[in-house]
Every structure is written in C-alpha cells, then in structure tokens.
A and B are shown apart, each in its own frame.
Chain A
C-alpha cells in the first residue's frame, strides 16, 4: 500500500466492497505494534502472541479479516482470550490445540461450528494471539473486539455493557482439559474461571460470551483489528513517527519529556504506581503525572486532569513512537504521552460505571479527553 490514504480507510472501503483481506506474516508485526499502542501500557507483551501468530500463518495460511456484515445473522462468533499469570505464559507457552478443543465443545453445545474468532481485548497480547487461534481453526478473524483497548478485569467488556448475560464460559488448558461453566452471573463466572485456571497451572484459553453475529451488533467494538494494523503501519518508514502516530490516532499530545520519577507498588495482584514526566523542548517547565494500574489510567498536570480512563492514554518512545508498557517504564526515558477518545460505548452510563474512573477507585467525574483539550 503506497497510497497516501490511511490504510484504515483503504481497509474500511475494501470491507464495504466485500473484498477479502488477509492478515499476512508481515501484517503481524504491524498488528503487534498497533496492539501495543492500544494496550495503554497493559494487556501483556505482544511478542509471544506475534510469535505464535507468525508460526500459525506459516503452518495454516493467512487469516481473512471479516466484518460483522459479512456474517449471516445466526453465525457464531467465538471471543477468545488467554488468561492466567504473565510469568507462567512466558514459560509454559500455549498448546496449539487449545482453540481446537474449544471449537469442538462449541459444536457439541450449539450443533454448529463457530464462523469467526474474535479478540476479547485488542490491546496487548490478546489482540495478536487470536490471529494464531483463527489460523489454527481455519476461521476468519472478526474485525472487532470487546474493549477497543486493554482493561484488567473480565467484566470490563462491551458485551457486559450491552447487557448480554455471562452465562457460558468454555476453557481449555495446555494438557487438553476442557471445562464448560454455566455461571449465574459475571461475578461467579470470574470466580470459577479463576479456580479452573489455577488447577490448569495458571494458564488457559477462554471463550466467554459466545455470540451470534446478530447479538454482536452494538455489543462489540467494530473495526479494531484493521485499526490496530493501521496504527502499526502509520509509523513504518515515517520521517516523523511520532507525528504519524498522533495523526493516525487523532490523539492529543499531553507532554513530550523525560521520565523523572516512577513509584511502583504491587497490591492485590495489580501493579499500581505514579509516573512523573517532565517536559523537555517546547514543553520545558511542564510536569505531567500518570496514575497507572496495569494500564495508564489518569493523566494530571498542575492539579488538573488532562485525560482519564476509559479514554486511551499511551506512553510512547519519542523517537520511535513505539509504545512503552507500564513494566517497561524506566527513569530517564524520553517519552511522549498521547491520549485519544475511547469507543462511544464506554461513555454511556453503563460503560462509565463499568470502566470509568470510579471503577478504578478515582473519585473523578468523567470528562472526554477532546473536551478537556479544547
């Protein structure tokens, strides 16, 4: 694609024209970079997912990306995500058969096979790994996910906001066990799934909210796979990668500077912390602090909030525009903080109740990032 039109637009047009688009080996790198940006500091390392995706494409071929409208209304969509401890999945890598067992179980339950795989969380590792799972299953990947970014808790998904009951969870582990849970609500879903995950060695593949394409309407966030690839492509070979990224995202640049303080603490399984970035160059004299909790959640300057969750806040390397995860933050890094609007679904009352600032313990009234900036 050497067109000056953003690739996202090209893909969207192609999608409307029902031209099939396939994720190739080289798309995986762009997707991984884009998913890291959408991870807003969290979502896990994209590298392992990219390895599995490349291997699966080599083995099983490229993965077609389809839009919701490409699917018949009663087609089953399979939202997949890896769950467990990052330290474990870095050492005990997934089995390639895990998605196969989940698909087989879906067929047993619904009497038909799923028509597409969907990422549950486009931000971070779970945005890239579905390419591997879809390739293994010979299924297309739905151009959508359940967050449009990364979030730390399982109820923070669009299906929950849309009011779809969490009444079916299917899990598959590295040794071949398959567990089907029919929980009474989301809280039990989380508790039982965690217990199963522990028994499976703290790593498993999970499908929850198995949906028909019809049910997906308004209950998933569309266009996020092609958007992630477009984000990854934007910085490729760019003269000024940062400007290219900012333009592609439509982001507000909160500050460009140097990381001067980093305070991290682990509480309740989550890494929380405060990051201080002092402006350099044109931003000299300004200081931005970021509150982090796996993801970047709130950005404050001079006691004034400049962006807050669920809007997306990502720290990138100022030179390369590569996203920096919260674990990768180090004193002295030259970084730029970008913020841009979340999907409108998260700005509804139910969306904000689920993943707004108060859901993370910040006593703040949500204000959209673009409104604060203007």
Chain B
C-alpha cells in the first residue's frame, strides 16, 4: 500500500534529543531533524515531526511512521497514567513463598495493583499440572476487583500455555472487554521477572492508547493518513494494534534502533557501535545486522524483568558532559553553555573541538582551557578504549561504527577496534534504525530432547511456525518472514533431557 514513491518517517525519542528522518522508497535519507526531548515527550515529538515535514515538497507522500519512544518508560518511572491491574498467578500451592509484586517499590505497587491472588493451577517442568485450574477462585477474584486490566501468570506457562488461555476466556466472560496480559506472550522462564513484565504490560495499555492517539492526531492535523508502527527493544517493529497489546515491549527501543541504523547506514553487519549522545555513550555489538542481546536481568522503575535487551554498555561520556564534573551533562543547553557557543561551561564538545576532531559552535576555545581539555580528551579516549575492549569479548579486529550527535568526540583510531566508520547521517542513526526496521515475533518454550528425533523436529517446526505467525501479526510480510534466531539451551539437573528453545522470526513490513 505504500506505493512506488511512498515516504516513511522514523522518529526516535532519546534522553536529550528527539530525532526524526524521512526515507524514500529506496531507503535514502531525504530529510532529518533533531529537537530537544520535552518533559512530556509528545511536544518534542511533534516538533521533530514538523521539522522534517517542513523539508518535504510533498508531505502527503508519507505513508508510514515508525516511532521509538520513551512514553512507557517515563510512565513507569514517574508512576503516571498507569492502569490498575488485577494480578492473578496460577500456581498454588506452589510459589506462595514469594507472592506477586513482593519486591515492587511501594508507590508503584499502590499505583498499579488493584488486587493480587495466587489460585490453584500452573504446571510442572514436565508439563503435568501442579493443580487443575481453580475456575471458581478465578471468578471470585475477578468479581472482587475494580481493574482496568488483568495480568495472568502461570507457572511454566511458556511451555504449557493452556491454563493462561483459559483464564483469558473466563475474564472475557466475567468482565467483558477488559484487557488481559498473558505472561507466556510476554516473557520467558523465570516466574517473578515474567510476572513483573506482564503486570507492567497490563498497566501500560492506557499509555499505549494515549501515545497512539497523540501520534495519530499529530499526523492527521498535518493532513497525513499513515500507518504507524512502534519500535521495540530488539530493534524490530510492531504494528500499532499489536503495540497496543504489548506496550511494555516498547521499553528500551532506543539502543536497538541506533544499532540497526548504524548497520544500515554503514552497510556493515558485524561491528561495534558507539552511539555518542548528549549525556552518555552507548556501546553495543552488531552480529549479522542485529544487536547482540544481554543475558542479564533488566530493571525498570525498580522492578526486575527478564526481557531480552541489546547488550549495551553505557559510559558517562557525551557531547554535553561537563569536563571535571563527570557524569554531569549540560544536556540540550549545550547550545548556550558550552565554550564554543560562547558559554562558560567546559564540555566534552569543547574538548573535542580543541583537539581538532570537529568544528562545532560559534566561538573558539579560549587558550586557558586548552590544557584541561586536552587531558579530558585523553581520559575520554581511555574510557572508550576500555569500554570497546569490554564489549568486544576478545575479538579485536571488528570495525567501530560511530553514530549519534556526539560521534565526532571519538578518536580516528580506537584501540581494540578495527577501522572507525563514520557513515553519512550518523547523527540520526537511531531514527533511521526505526524507519528501516523489520517486524518480528518470538517464542520461547521447553522441548524434550528425547522422544525421538522426529518428535523433537516436529516441535521445533511448530515453534518456528508460531514465531513466524507472530511476526506477521506484528506487521511483517508473510512472504518474506524468516527465522533469524534459533537457539537451544540444554537445561541442567533435569531427569529427562530437555532444551529451552528460543525462536525469533523477522521480515520486512508488508507492502
């Protein structure tokens, strides 16, 4: 439907700036803009959108908008606009030693929890039921809560989802059109982390609606009728109705976007990426064009979750970083406060200019600062070399792609990396990453390693089909969906050999 000459807009909301780009149907950047991120996010987003639209001769040719935003993260951090969630766990008599939301910060729990219960149900690792689902207890719980949404988490549901699906039906029967988050659709093994993510997801439905509405009205008021997509934490996209169901997956999309954008702009698929922003530099690794993912637990607003996020190492080095007062940054006020803009605060931008790495600003660097700034550059180079070494995991020859508004801070030669690549449009790589992203679906389950090679192969085949179906549901073109990841991790200490199977499918958006 995008036609032969459609345009698309990628927008990425960062901590300091909101970036927007327009790509044509050959993925060429035809417009770009950077605006300060506003406290409410939406205002900065509109400003960036207006700025790129103003550059277009025919804004009406825009067919799609891809948005990577921090609305959900901010809502959780600020405990704002969150829905009230009925939290239901299927697992009693197991799991009672740590009830739902036990370790949540009090204010977040108060903002979100409409009620919690652990009812009889759930499964063992081998698929047997811990207890049959206690349907009466589920109904009793639902009749006693006033909630905007329901979050359902069953023990071992990633391997046995039937009870969670039944609860979804019961909720529909009892409460009608109340939204339900099922944990097996959201997270992987690790009950508390998956439950936390599922509850956060349920709490974010309203936020997702608000963002969608705000974006739609912003677009419509500019005469645009477009399809919108949201970027998620693994560098892929979700169609808007899909994002409305899994808003929590939009958290942490920024680093993934910048990695994907760096791969696209440089044409290099295996590399280290350093995204230098206003307050920090994020380093990540591209493997086959996709971000290498972290195995560590991810904390959001004081709550531990187990999302797969890009493996990112952040260091306190950005264009606005104040020399001698790290990690403080002047942020978007750099245009007034930095020495090269006539201000009185020595920043890393000043240091880089003094070192001859770029020409930025309206003023020269005063001589009395030169020695301190030179020292700051040496320190920064060491910091970067150290960080590169940490993320490189011993492979020293990969190129380093420098992106972000502060990419010129980086030296031309970084120890531990090969060539330093500085692609065109590097300063808006994150927005480009959002614009060119694929849609994806993923699935995690447990598959017995025994039971015959054919039985196992059938189960893996089934898992691949399900992941592909999820990618299509997220907006991918059914004809070009591919399995991009398939990992089998043997589980230790189990009576019957079994593997944890992880499948991810991705493909370009349907035309």
| Residue picked from B392, B393, B492, most chain A C-beta under 10 Å | B492
Segment of A49-57, A141-149, A336-344 engaged in the interface with chain B:
A49-57
Give residues in B with beta carbon < 8 Å to A.
91-99, 102-103, 122, 124-126, 128, 130-131, 155-156, 189-192, 389-394, 490-495, 500
Nearest A-chain residue to B391, judged by Cβ: A332
Contact of B93 among A176, A198, A261 (CB under 8 A): A176
CB distance from B156 to the nearest CB of A (A): 6
Also in contact, A91 and B392, with CB within 8 A (given A48-B98, A174-B93): no
**29 cross-chain CB contacts under 8 A:** A48-B192, A52-B97, A85-B125, A85-B491, A87-B494, A88-B125, A90-B191, A91-B156, A91-B189, A92-B122, A92-B124, A92-B155, A92-B156, A92-B191, A93-B91, A93-B94, A93-B191, A94-B94, A94-B97, A96-B97, A174-B94, A174-B95, A175-B93, A201-B124, A201-B126, A201-B130, A202-B125, A269-B493, A333-B390
* A91 near B394: Cβ-Cβ < 8 Å: no
Docked Cα-Cα span, A93 to B124, in Å, equals 11
Partner of B130, one of A96, A98, A175, A331: A175
Tell whether, in the assembled complex, residue B93 and residue A95 are in contact, meaning their CB atoms are under 8 Å apart: yes
Question: Most B CB atoms within 10 A — which of A97, A201, A331?
Answer: A201
B490 lies within 8 A of A95 (CB): no
Do the beta carbons of B394 and A331 come within 8 Å of each other? Answer: yes
Give 3 nearest A-B pairs by CB, closest first.
Answer: A174-B94, A85-B493, A201-B124
| Chain A nearest CB, measured from B90 CB (Å) | 12
Judge if A84 is at the interface, Cβ distance under 8 Å.
yes
Find chain B residues with CB under 8 A from A88 CB: 125, 493-494
Q: Which residues of A contact B493 (CB under 8 A)?
A: 84-88, 202, 269
Instruction: Please give 9 more A-B residue pairs, beta carbons under 8 A apart, in addition to A175-B94, A260-B394, A269-B492.
Output: A85-B125, A88-B125, A91-B189, A93-B91, A93-B97, A93-B98, A98-B97, A332-B390, A332-B393
Residues of B within 8 A of A56 (CB): 97
Which of A98, A174, A333 lies at the interface centre, i.e. has the most chain B CB atoms within 10 A of its CB?
A174
Bound complex: CA A98 to CA B91 (Å): 15
Q: How far is the CA of A176 from the CA of B130 in the complex (A)?
A: 11
Give bound CA distance, A85 to B492, whole Å.
7
A4 interface residue per 8 A CB criterion: no
Partner of B492, one of A86, A93, A260, A333: A86
Instruction: Return the chain B residue nearest A56 by Cβ.
Output: B97
Which residue on chain A has the smallest CB distance to residue B93? A95
Tell me if A36 is interfacial: C-beta within 8 Å of chain B. Answer: no
Q: Would A271 and B98 be within 8 Å (CB), given that A90-B190, A91-B190, A174-B130 are in contact?
A: no
- Verify A51–B494 contact, CB threshold 8 A: no
Question: Is the Cβ of B394 less than 8 Å from the Cβ of A95?
Answer: no
**Interface residue A132 (Cβ < 8 Å from any Cβ of B):** yes
Q: What residues on B are CB-neighbors of A201 within 8 Å?
A: 124-126, 128, 130
CB distance from A325 to the nearest CB of B (A): 12
Chain B CB within 10 Å, residue with most, of A87, A175, A202 = A87
Bound Cα distance from A87 to B492, whole angstroms: 8
How many angstroms from the CA of A51 to the CA of B98 in the assembled complex? 7
Task: Write out the residue numbers on chain B whose beta carbons fall within 8 Å of the beta carbon of A96.
Answer: 96-97
Give the chain B neighbours of A239 by CB distance below 8 A: none
Question: Per-position contact with B for A37-66: 1 when CB-CB < 8 Å, else 0?
Answer: 000000000001001101110000000000
The chain A residue with its CB closest to the CB of B304 is A47
| Docked pose: A176 CA to B120 CA in angstroms | 13
Specify which of A56, A88, A176 lies most central, judged by the most chain B CB atoms within 10 Å of its CB: A88
Q: Are A132 and B97 neighbours in the complex by a CB distance under 8 Å?
A: yes
Chain B CB within 10 A, most for which of A96, A97, A176 = A96
A90 and B126 within 8 A (CB): no
Question: How far is the CB of B74 from the nearest CB of chain A, in Å?
Answer: 27
Interface centre among A93, A94, A96, by most chain B C-beta atoms within 10 angstroms, is A93
Whether A95 and B390, one on each chain, are in contact in the complex, defined by CB atoms closer than 8 angstroms, is no
* Interface check A266, CB cutoff 8 A: yes
B192 pairs with A51, CB closer than 8 A: yes
Q: Within A295-340, which residues are at the interface with B (CB < 8 Å)? A: 330-333
Set of chain A residues within 8 Å of B96, measured between Cβ atoms: 95-97
How far does the alpha carbon of A51 sit from the alpha carbon of B191 in the complex, in Å? 13
Complex-state Cα separation, A95 to B155, whole angstroms: 12
A103 to chain B, nearest CB (A): 15
- State how many angstroms separate the Cβ of A113 from the closest Cβ of chain B: 21
Most buried by A among B98, B191, B389: B98
Q: How far is the CA of A52 from the CA of B96 in the complex (A)?
A: 9
CA distance A132 to B97 in the complex (A): 8
User: Which listed residue (B126, B190, B390, B492) contacts A271, Cβ 8 A?
Assistant: B492
Q: Is the CB of A95 within 8 A of B95?
A: yes
Q: How far is the CB of B364 from chain A (nearest CB, A)?
A: 39
A374 to B491, CA, bound (A): 43
A333 to B: closest C-beta gap in Å? 8
CB distance from A95 to the nearest CB of B (A): 5
Q: In the assembled complex, which residues on chain A have CB atoms less than 8 Å from the CB atom of B393?
A: 330-332
Q: Distance (Å) between the CB of A371 and the closest chain B CB?
A: 35
Whether A87 contacts B102 by the Cβ 8 Å rule is no
Interface pair B495/A266, CB less than 8 Å apart: no
Q: Tell me the minimal C-beta distance from B11 to chain A in angstroms.
A: 34
Q: How far is the CB of A83 from chain B (nearest CB, A)?
A: 9
Is the Cβ of A266 less than 8 Å from the Cβ of B97?
A: no
A175 to B91 Cα, complex, angstroms: 10
Q: Would you give the shortest CB distance from A96 to chain B, in whole angstroms? A: 4
- Which residues in A have their C-beta under 8 angstroms from that of B99? 55
* A55 touching B156, Cβ below 8 Å: no
B-side contacts of A261, CB under 8 Å = 394
A residues near B190, Cβ cutoff 8 Å? 90-91
Asked if B191 and A91 make an inter-chain contact with CB atoms under 8 angstroms apart, the answer reads: yes
Tell me whether A266 and B492 are in contact in the complex, defined as CB-CB below 8 angstroms, given that A48-B98, A91-B189 are known contacts: yes
Asked whether, in the complex, the Cβ of A90 is within 8 Å of the Cβ of B189, the reply is yes
Q: Which residue of A lies closest to B103 (CB)?
A: A51
Task: Give CA–CA (A271, B94) in the complex, Å.
Answer: 28
Residue of A nearest to B493 (CB): A85
> B residues within 8 A CB of A97?
93, 96
**Given the complex, which residues of A lie within 8 Å of B128, measured CB to CB?**
201
With a CB–CB cut-off of 8 A, which chain A residues contact B394? 260-261, 331-332
C-alpha gap A153/B57 in the complex (Å): 73
Determine if A266 and B490 form an interchain contact, defined as CB atoms under 8 angstroms apart: yes
Report which residue of A48, A87, A91, A266 has the largest number of chain B beta carbons within 10 angstroms of its beta carbon: A91
A51-B192, A92-B124, A331-B393 are known contacts. Are A198 and B495 too (CB-CB below 8 A)? yes
Cα distance A96–B102 in the bound complex, in angstroms: 14
Q: Which residues of chain B are within 8 angstroms of A260 by Cβ–Cβ distance?
A: 394
- For chain A residues 195-225, which have a beta carbon within 8 Å of chain B? 198, 201-202
Query: B122: shortest Cβ distance to chain A, in Å?
Result: 7
Enumerate chain B residues within 8 angstroms of A93, measured Cβ to Cβ.
91, 94-95, 97-98, 191-192
A residues less than 8 Å from B122 (CB atoms): 92
Residues of B contacting A95 in the complex (Cβ-Cβ under 8 angstroms)? 92-97
Given contacts A90-B189, A95-B97, A175-B131, whether A54 and B102 have CB atoms under 8 Å apart is yes
Does the CB pair A202–B191 fall under 8 Å? no
C-alpha spacing A93/B103, complex, angstroms: 15
In A92-126, the 8 Å CB interface with B consists of 92-98
Query: Which A residues are in CB contact (< 8 Å) with B392?
Result: 332
List of B residues within 8 angstroms of A330 by Cβ: 393
State whether B490 touches A91 (Cβ < 8 A).
no
